[in-house]
Chains A and B, each alone.
Chain A
Amino acid sequence: MIDPTTISVVRSGLEQICDEMDLHTIRSAISPIISETNDCAHGIYHPRTGETIAQGHLGLPVFLATMQFTVQAVIERAERQGGFAPGDMWVLNDTYLGGTHLNDVTLLTPVFVDGELFALLANTGHWMDVGGATAGGWNPSAEDIHQEGIVIPPGKLYDRGRLNEELLAMFLANVRLPDDIRGDLGALTSALQKGEQRLGELLARRGVETVRDCLEELIGRSERQMRTYIEEIPDGDYEFADRIDNDGVVDEPIEIRLRIEIRGSEMRIDFAGTSARVRGPINISANTARSACYVALKHVFPDVPVNGGTFRPVTIAIPDGSVIAAEYPSPVSGYLEAVGRILDVVFGALAQAIPERVPAAPFGTTGVVTVGGRHPDTGAYFVGVFPYPGGYGATHQTDGLVHGNTPQSMANFVALEASEHRYPLRFEYFAIREGSGGAGWHRGGDGTTYRVTATGPCTLSVLGDRADSAPFGLHEGGSALPNDVRLITGGTEWRPPMRTKLARQPLAEGDSIEVASPGGGGFGDPLERDLELVERDLNHGYIGPEEAERTYGVRARVESETASRKRWSVERSDRAASAAVPSADVGAQQPRQEAR
C-alpha cells in the first residue's frame, strides 16, 4: 500500500501540472473564446486505458469526460499504427468519437520515461472558426456535419518532433481566421510541452514507480468516494422529462427522457423514450451525452475529484438512433442545447430523491449569438461570439444567481466596451430582465436582456433554446420566464420562425437584435418567502407590485418616492398566513440524513 503522505503529495503535484497547462493556454491564446472565456481543458491520462488521471481546475466542465473518450479513440488508432513515439502530437476533432462539436480540437502527446510510455497529456481548445457555412461554427440550419466545418480525423500533427506542414496548411486554408488559429495552436502546443516538462520533474522528484502506483490508487479512491454519495440517495427509480423547442430545421419539440435507478452504491441512468435523431444540429454523440450526465453529477457532488474512477459506479444506457446517439453525418453544432437539457433532467430526477442537494433548472440555453463579417474600419474578417447569460435555479440554500454562465461552461461575456472596439456593434442597453426568475421560497435568478445594434453590415446567427418550455421550478417553486429573441431590421420588429434559432441573418447599419434570456426556476412555495426579501425584491425592481401580491401573497404599500422610483413596504395577506408547512422542511422527508 502507498503511504498516505505520498498519495496526497502526488495528487497535488498532478493537479498543479494540469492547472499550469490551463493557465498557460488561457494567458497566451489569441482567440477571446479561450483567453477570455477559458474554452479549453487540459488533463493527464492513463497510457493504456485512456482513463483520466488528473484535470486542471480552470478547464470547461463540458470537457470533463469527453476528453477521456477522445483519448481512448486516439489510443485505439495509434495502436493500429504501431503505437506512440516520443515527439508525436496527435490532433483530431471527430465529434462522433470523442465529443462536442467540430470547433473543439484536441491535441494529445505521449510522455515517455526511459523509453517507456508513462502517460498521455491532452488538451482541447475551442477554435474560433473551423470553416463550414457559418462563421464561428454554430450553424442552426446545418443538415449534415460538413456544413459545420472541416472534420479532422485522428492524425499526427507532429511525427517524432517533426511538424506536418501540409496538414497545418490544410487546416489554415479551411478556416476564416488563420492567423488566430495559428496563434492558438501555438499556445495549445506549448502548454502540452510545458506539462511534459513538469511531469518529468515530478517523476524525478517522487520516483517513476511511486507515481505509477499512485495513478492506479487515485482512480480507485475516487470510485469509493462516489459510491459513498450514491449510497446516501434512497434506493428507487426517479423519472423526469423535458423538451428542446426544435432542431432549427424542423419545428417539432424533441423530448429528453430519463429514469435514474439507484440500487445501493450503483446508479443507472436510462434514456429510454428520448426522441429519435433529428435533421438539424441538436444531435450529440453518445459519449457527449455521458459526459453531460457526469457534469450534472459533479454539480450535485462537487467534492469528488474527477478521474477515471469517479463514474465507474454509474452506468448510462443510451438508445441507438436517438438524438443523443449521433452518428455520421448528423449535424451537432447545437450540441450545447442538448447537453443543457440533459443536465436539467438529471437535476429534475435527483431532486425527487435528495431535494436539499439539487438546484431548480438553470436558464438552460447556451444560446450563442454570433456576429461576423468584415469590419468597415479595417476590412479585416471578424467573428464575435456572445454566449447567453441567464439566471440559475434557486436551491435549498439560496436564491438563484443572476447572470451565471451555463453549468457546462465557465465562459464569460465579453466586455461591452471591448466589443465595441472590436466589432461594428453598439449596445443599447444591458440589464437584469425583471421578473424572469421563477417565484419561490427561494427565488430563481433573473435572466438578462440586451439590445445590440449593427453600426455596419454584418451577418448574425443565433442558436438557442428554451423559448417554448421554460426552466422548471422545484417543490412548488414557479418556472422562470422563457427565452425571447427579436430582431429589428429595416425598422420592423419580428421574431424568428424557430424562435431562438436563426441562421445567417444579414444586418444592415441600424438593424438590431434584442435578447431576453430565461431566468432560473424557483424553489419552494413563494407564499412562504421571507417578507423582508419580498420587500427587497420589490424595491429593487426584481418583481413588480402585481407579482408581489398575486404570487407572494403580500399587500404592498408605497412608503415614499425618490426621482419617480417608489419605495414599498409589504405585509402578509390573509392568503399567505394560512399557508401550509414551510418548505424549509422539504429536506426532512428524506429518509437518510447527510453523513457529516
Chain B
Amino acid sequence: MSAASSPSTADLVALRLRSGGFDWQSYVLHGAMLLAMLLALGILLVLLADVAVKALPVLTQRPLDFLTSDLSSRPARAGIAQGLVGSLLLVLFVAFLALPIGVGAAVYLEEYARDTPITRFVRTNIRNLAGVPAIVYGLLGLAVFVTLLGLGEILVVGGLTLAILVLPIVVITTSEALRAVPASIREAALGVGATRWETVRNHVVPYAAPGILTGTILSLARAFGETAPLLMVGAVAGTFSVHGGLIEQLTGPYTALPTIVFNWAGQPQDEFRSLTAATIVVLVAVILLVNGTAILLRNRYDRRW
C-alpha cells in the first residue's frame, strides 16, 4: 500500500524517541553529590575509628572497672560511674519536666489557641528559642537557678537548665506531629458530638503520639550530649563523692559524661587520652542507641493518611 521510499510510522516514532545525546550534566552532578556524601561519611568514620583505637587500652584492660569507678586524679583508678548516673538522672529529670510542659504547650498552641498576632509571635519565637546557643541557656540557668534562687550547683539545677534548653524542640516537634493529623479526623470526632477535649484526647494526640515520641526521644539525646550549659551551672570537673539516696544525688554535686570528656581532654597525663576516648565511645554508643530507638519507633508506627 505505502511506497517503499516513505518511512513507516514506526520508523518516525523511533526517530523521535531517540535520546537527545549524552546527558553529561546529570553525570557530573551525580558524581559531585556522591563525593560530598562519601566525604561526610568518611570524616565521621575516621573520627570514630580514631576515638575507638585510642579507647582500646581502657576498654580492653578494665572495661567494668572503668564503668563502675568514680572520678579520680589517678588515671589507673579513674572511671565514669558518676557521669553515667549523673547523665541518666539529668535525662530523666528532663523527660519528666520538659515532656509534659512541652507537649501541653504544643497541644494548646495547635488545638486551642486562636490564630492571633500574639500566638503567631509566640510560635515564631519558640522557633527562635530552639536556635539559641546552648551556652546562653547555661548562663540563664546560672543567673536564675544558681544565683537568683540560690539553689547552688546541684543536679536539679542542671536538669532544670537542660529541660529549658530542650523545651522549644519538644514544642516544635509535637506541634508538627499534631499538624500532621488531618482536619477531617477532628471534624469526624466533633461531628458525632465529641467535645474539643474528647477529640484531642481520644484521637488527635494518640494519632500524633509516634511523632511526638520520636521528637522527644531525639530531644532527650540532645540533652544527654550537651556540655556547655552544664559547665555553666556547675557540673563538677574534678573529683567528688556523694553518699546516700536519690535525694542526696539530686541535691548534691554532680557530673555528666560530656563534662567528663571536656575535663579529661584537658588533663596533662597521657593516660587520660585513652580514658577520654573511652568515655566518648560510651557517650556516642548511648546516643546512637537512643536515636536508633527513635527511628525504629517512627518506622514502626508511621501512619499514612
| A and B form one complex | no
